[in-house]
Structure 1
Amino acid sequence: MTRFDYREKTALITGASSGIGEAFAHQLAARGMHLILVARSQDKLLSLADALGREHGCRTKVLVADLSDPDQASGLADRVKSAGLQADLIINNAGFGTHGRFTRQSAAQERREVLLNALAPLEIAHAFVPGMVERGGGAIINVASSAGFQATPYMSTYGATKAFLLHLSEGLWAELEPDNIQVMAVCPGPVATNFFEASGSPTLKKALSTTPMISAERCVRESLEAFDKGRPVVVPGLSIKLMTQSGRFMPRALLTKISARMLGPKKRKTG
């Protein structure tokens, strides 16, 4: 496979308005890419586009979309084409997590979680990959999670969506390699973003306080280093990488129980 060439190519980034998506925007612009920024917040996207243009001299296109709507996800390629653009690299980053007892979660919110975290990247791949095949190359980076490696009680739906995205990425990595299309899954642990606030859970950040947290900038830097080496999966951050590897040697039931103790409600001390 030909190594991906960033210069004068265009990257489409979902969830680009903050966190990991914003970090991808800055680092890809620094590598000479032009950008298509996708998120729900127009004001944040326009501000980011202006900053990227001033700092890197890149061209940016802002597309406002709610990708939890399957029609908006599948229609993204037509909007890009209508703007006279093409996406050479897709960064599927948009997503969120819910935390707490399953019986207390909103079914509508968890459905939206599945649509955004799992279905949207699938719809986007179906919309853009045929064009990449026709042009003889392209790339997709899917932001999954270390939660995709095992069951995550009290975040069961989130973990399941990330497992789907991880396995989809690995399958497409092998399947699309003959078409010169590079696919990689990014599986970080906790990253210093607004993920915890967006979860709506006041206890999630505390539940993960013993797990080392890395910056969005480091997450993206290590991800792009792995992408340049053609790897199908990367776990940014040494500590979380060791944790995910050690979990491979534990019985799944035990690993799930440990996750439940970490993410579940803490028992109050008595006496």
Structure 2
Amino acid sequence: MTGASAGIGAEFARQVAARGSDVVLVAQRLDRLKRLAGELGPAYGITATPVAMDLATPGVGAALDAALTVRGLTVTSLIDNAGFGTNAAFHREDSQRLADEIAVNVTSLVDLSRAFIERLRTHGRGVLVNVASVAAYQPTPTMAVYGATKAFVLSFTEAVWYESRNTGLRVMALSPGATETEFFDVAGAQARRRH
């Protein structure tokens, strides 16, 4: 699962591990991933594998696939949780920061989904969870790019759900509202009132 170093991603990891499944924890911050893996393994008797990756990097799906293949790991479910938001008037946003936001929130999610979907469908009992947001359902002034990326995630996931009917793969979009995570540390306190 991506974005596993904190917040919703770390909670997903705990919940999946509590059900007895091994987990692969993917995020940039290896120290946090190792700490979480060290918590989950002994607590639930599972194997938690930390993999540090920058999800803004092109080709992240193939890179993660290769990293897991080297470790002899098979993926049967995927939770695309990583994402971040920016919070300012669009014309004032830093263009590189916006490009990174789109890369993490959209491009990596599509790339990872594509890299693993055939195996998820073949497995026949897996899940693909893409984390959208309540921001996906309406325009979000001062968070225009974030809202648009989450609208993409929602639409994309609904289409993949339709295409995956009768395969045994369960596909869903999760659209959380404001949640006490590091999201607002990155997006800024004012985003809390809009989200």
Return the alpha-carbon distance in structure 1 between the equivalents of residues 175 and 44 of structure 2: 28
1:185 match:
173
Aligned to 1:37: 25
Aligned position for 1:204? 191
1:108 aligns with 2:96: yes
Match of 2:78 in 1: 90
What does 1:59-78 correspond to in 2, within 5 Å? 59-78=47-66
Q: Determine which of 140, 146, 150 is the counterpart of 2:134.
A: 146
Report the equivalent of 2:36. Answer: 48
1:187 CA displacement: 0.3
Moved over 6 A (4+): none
The percentage of aligned residue pairs carrying the same residue is: 37
Q: Residues of 1 paired with 2:66 and 2:17: CA distance?
A: 23
Residue 69 of structure 1 deviates from its aligned partner by: 0.7
**What whole-Å deviation, never above 9, does each CA across 1:99-131 have from its counterpart, x for those lacking one?**
111111001000110010011110001100112
For residues 195 and 202 of structure 1, the distance between their equivalents in structure 2, rounded to whole angstroms, comes to 9
Partner of 1:20: 8
Distance in 2 of aligned mates of 1:85 and 1:66: 20
Deviation by residue 1:40-68 (Cα, 9 ceiling, x = unmatched): 00110001000111211111111100011
Contact 1:90–1:139 under 8 Å retained in 2: yes
| CA–CA separation in structure 2 for the residues paired with 1:45 and 1:118 | 22
Q: Which has the larger radius of gyration?
A: 1
Equivalent residues of 1:67, 1:73 under 8 A apart: no
Alignment partner of 1:81 is 2:69: yes
Per-residue CA shift, 1:83-113, capped at 9, x if unaligned?
1111111110000000111111001000110
Give the superposition deviation at 1:137: 4.1
Q: How does 1:119-268 map to 2 (within 5 A)?
A: 119-199=107-187, 201-205=188-192, 207-208=193-194
Matched length: 195
> Which digits, 9 at most, give the CA deviation of each residue in 1:153-191, with x for residues without a partner?
111100000000001111111111222111000001100
Q: Paired residue for 1:233?
A: none
Contact 2:88/2:142 (CA < 8 Å) preserved in 1?
yes
**Unmatched runs of 5 consecutive residues or more in structure 2:** none
Deviations 1:209-240 (A, max 9, x none): xx7xxxxxxxxxxxxxxxxxxxxxxxxxxxxx
Provide the rounded CA distance (Å) in 1 between the counterparts of 2:12 and 2:82.
Answer: 12
**What residue number does 1:222 align with?**
none
Contact conserved, 1:74 with 1:120, CA < 8 A, in 2? no
